[in-house]
Structure 1
């Protein structure tokens, strides 16, 4: 395969970065960008869909997170996969022709614009917007300051070998990452096709999979459940830090939109946004401290208690699907 760096560095100057979309997780940022073609209200729907739910999976400290309810409509999205790149190219081209864009699953390790490039593997959604002469138009709207550095949005033409490398499956993922993939759309999606080149497509006429387990719903109850797990298990802050970072981004966005719409008090929303912004910082600090043998259960408990108290002033809970 060719080194993707050369192609990316040339092409990033040929096309401007994507228009700004809500700063959510790498899943939901590009999901919104995918859906809003022909659906101008999707950003508001995303804000109202945000809600945090958790359940325990095969053990008292194994959490599964669901970040929001579904926003992809009646013809729900589902994963598609191909075992080899030749089959994947044919199927991706078919989906491009049918839908005009494809929401594909990449690996941050192979994305030259990602701060995780060459350092860390993680599933990452991006958009394929076109293909010509063996090259793909790739868009990634995700913008964030991560522990590894700053990620900026990307839009450019990449050659076939570079896209193959970006979409090459990696695994097996640890349970918390596998759960993120499975619940990235809000409810369980099966099969996930984690061992294949994969993308998402409409699943008209297909029955959704059964969603096992009892979910904790309602933000106060959910925060209490998460707080208990993190304070009882010194490894939990490290394992679920990304889930809580995503929740912070989602709830901050929800608060901004609802305050702008006059649905909640702007002053209370701003205060709650500050608390949500502190949550991933505290969780990361607690994870690093626990790794050095100094757990921070008291700090974690106070942080979650503060979030619960301030939530009472911004109570416009959405309906939960799970």
Structure 2
């Protein structure tokens, strides 16, 4: 399958990073899960898409956010390239020339740097998806120092839902420093193992699906504000299930996975149709409830 098909911009960059040393598709596929929690402060759902958390790398090192000024960034990225041959940086889609979101609202977006020569940075952005502004295609090329700094110049504040995604990008929450620019540093020390807990309000698997149904029934307008996270969940599950089908040892196993893949991959379209129906004043709640219910590992 296409290496990053179905992955978010975050996991597309992680896939590219991991693939230079390890079996990235297997690592990410094995991590995919669904967990949700109600964020009372902002009246939104928080989503976790990975367990174990992907900041912990197979060799025991881990990735962590750092922030700083222009000179900090260029020196730090040069050091990352010298040590590891690549680095992930946080950019703003509104400032990325190749993004279909260029010039629009700010949104965090990860890209991979895999080289630098004569103040030109080699870029790989494997993210490919149909997004509200159009079809985003993968892009590879070079940026100058000034162009890279421009792309990495972040807004003073992300929207609450974006801040939550940055914090939970690996699966379990990690510290996200404030600053005008951010990148990921690979730290060679022993990584702290962290996980989500039920006692902190997290719901997992089928229980998370039930929570999504309840959230939709309580307030469909609030529910549809989670569309980006639901799209990510669908993409990640489709990615993981397609990998499981590829490595399955029997035809029976492969055939059993195909309907699950179809249900997850159909979810974004169903939700889009349902949202448009609400906007037209003709809501179709059963459409959403059926689509979500079909995702349970044990359909009711």
TM-score by length of 1: 0.82
- Say whether residues 1:214 and 2:198 are aligned partners: no
Q: Find 2:9's aligned residue among 15, 26, 29.
A: 26
2:193 equivalent to 1:193 = no
Conserved 8 A contact 1:81-1:197:
yes
- Seen in structure 2, the aligned counterparts of structure 1 residues 60 and 160 have a Cα distance that, compared at 3 Å, is closer
Deviation track 1:87-142 (CA, whole Å, cap 9, x = no partner) reads 21122212221221111111111112211111232111101112222211111011
Other-structure match for 1:47 = 29
Q: Equivalent residue of 1:307, what SS?
A: coil
Aligned to 1:7: none
Structure 2 residue aligned with 1:238: 224
2:267 to 276, 279, 282: 279
Aligned residues: 289
Distance 2:156 2:292 in 1: 32
Alignment of 1:247-258 (within 5 A): 247-258=233-244
8 Å CA contact 2:129, 2:135 repeated in 1: yes
* d(CA) in 2 for partners of 1:63, 1:276: 19
Unaligned ranges ≥5, structure 1: 1-19, 314-322
Alpha-carbon contact 2:64-2:184 (below 8 Å) kept: yes
SS at match of 2:217: helix
CA distance 1:91–1:246, shift in 2 (3 Å): same
* SS of alignment partner, residue 121 of structure 1: coil
- Cα pair 1:61 1:233 within 8 Å, conserved: no
Residues 194-225 of structure 1: CA deviation (Å, up to 9, x unaligned): 543111112324646796722111x2111111
Does the C-alpha gap of structure 1 residues 75 and 105 become closer, same or farther in structure 2, counting only changes over 3 Å? same
**1:94-105 superposed matches below 5 A:** 94-105=79-90
- Once residues 274 and 114 of structure 2 are traced to their aligned partners in structure 1, the CA distance between those partners, rounded to angstroms, is 40
Cα distance, 1:265–1:171 mapped onto 2, change above 3 Å: farther
Question: Quick one: distance in 2 between partners of 1:265 and 1:81?
Answer: 46
Q: 5+ unaligned residues in a row in structure 2: which ranges?
A: none
Q: Helix, strand or coil for the counterpart of 2:21?
A: coil
Contact 1:96 1:130 in 2 (8 A): yes
- State the alpha-carbon separation in 1 of the partners of residues 131 and 86 from structure 2: 27
Residue 256 of structure 2 corresponds to which residue in structure 1? 268
